[in-house]
A and B are shown apart, each in its own frame.
Chain A
Amino acid sequence: MNPFGTPANWAAFPVIFPALVALLCLLAPRPSVWRRGLALLSFAGLLAHACWIVSHAMNEGPLVLRLGGWVAPYGIVLVADTLAGIMLALSSFTALSCALFGYAETPTREEHPLRLPLLLFLLAGINLTFVTGDLFNLFVAFEVMLLSSYGLMTLEAGARESRQALPYLTLNLVGSALFLAVCGFTYSLFGTLNFAEMIVRSDGLAGDYRLTLLAVLMLMVFGLKAGLFPLYQWLPGSYSVMPAPIAAFYAGMLTKVGVYVLIRIFGTVLPPSLTELHTLIAWSAGLTMVIGVLGAVGQMRVQTILSYHIVSQIGFMALAIGLFTPFAFTAAIFYIIHHIIVKAALFLVSGSVAQLNGTDDLARTGGLWRAAPWLGIAFVLQAMSLAGLPPLSGFWGKFMIIQEGFTQGEWVLVAMSLVASILTLMSMLKIWLGAFWKAAPEGTPVASSGRTRAMSAVILAMACVSLVIGFGAEKFLRIAKHAADETLDRAGYVANVRAANETLYPSKTPGATKP
Chain B
Amino acid sequence: MTNQLEAAVLVAVLFGSGLYLCFSRRMLRMLFGFLMISNAANLVLIAISGDPTGKRAATVGEDAPVGVPPVDPLPQALILTAIVIGFAVAAYLTVLIYRLYTDRGTANLNTLFADQARGGAAAKEDAS
Contacts and interface: CB of A to CB of B under 8 A. Distances in A.
B53 interface: no
Contact of B41 (A136, A184, A188): A184
A166 B75 CA distance: 31
Interface string A293-318: 00000001100100000000000000
Interface in B68-127: 74-75, 78, 81-82, 85, 88-89, 92-93, 96, 99-100, 103-104, 109, 112-113, 121, 124-127
B13 interface: no
A193 B74 CA distance: 10
Contacts of B109: 166
Contacts, number: 108
A177 B75 contact: no
Interface in A154-175: 154, 159-163, 165-166, 169-170, 173-174
Nearest to A354: B128
A143 to B, nearest CB: 5
A163 B37 contact: no
A166 B96 contact: yes
Interface residues of B, number: 42
A169 B100 contact: no
A44 interface: no
A121 to B, nearest CB: 12
A241 B127 contact: yes
Contacts of A140: 81, 85
A173 B92 CA distance: 11
Contacts of A187: 45, 48, 74-75, 78
Contacts of B103: 159, 162
B19 interface: yes
A183 interface: yes
A188 B48 contact: yes
Contact of B93 (A136, A173, A183): A173
A54 B109 CA distance: 47
Contacts of B125: 300, 361, 363
Nearest to A304: B124
A243 interface: no
B94 to A, nearest CB: 11
A184 B48 contact: yes
Contacts of B127: 160-161, 241
Interface of B: 11, 15, 18-19, 22-23, 27, 30, 34, 37-38, 40-42, 44-45, 47-48, 74-75, 78, 81-82, 85, 88-89, 92-93, 96, 99-100, 103-104, 109, 112-113, 121, 124-128
Given A147-B88, A170-B30, 12 more contacts: A147-B85, A159-B104, A161-B127, A163-B104, A166-B100, A173-B38, A174-B19, A174-B22, A174-B34, A177-B34, A180-B44, A184-B75
Interface of A: 136, 139-140, 143, 146-147, 150-151, 154, 159-163, 165-166, 169-170, 173-174, 176-178, 180-181, 183-185, 187-188, 193, 241, 300-301, 304, 359-361, 363
19 contacts: A136-B78, A140-B81, A147-B89, A154-B99, A160-B126, A161-B127, A166-B96, A169-B96, A170-B34, A173-B34, A176-B38, A177-B18, A177-B40, A180-B42, A181-B44, A184-B41, A184-B47, A300-B124, A304-B124
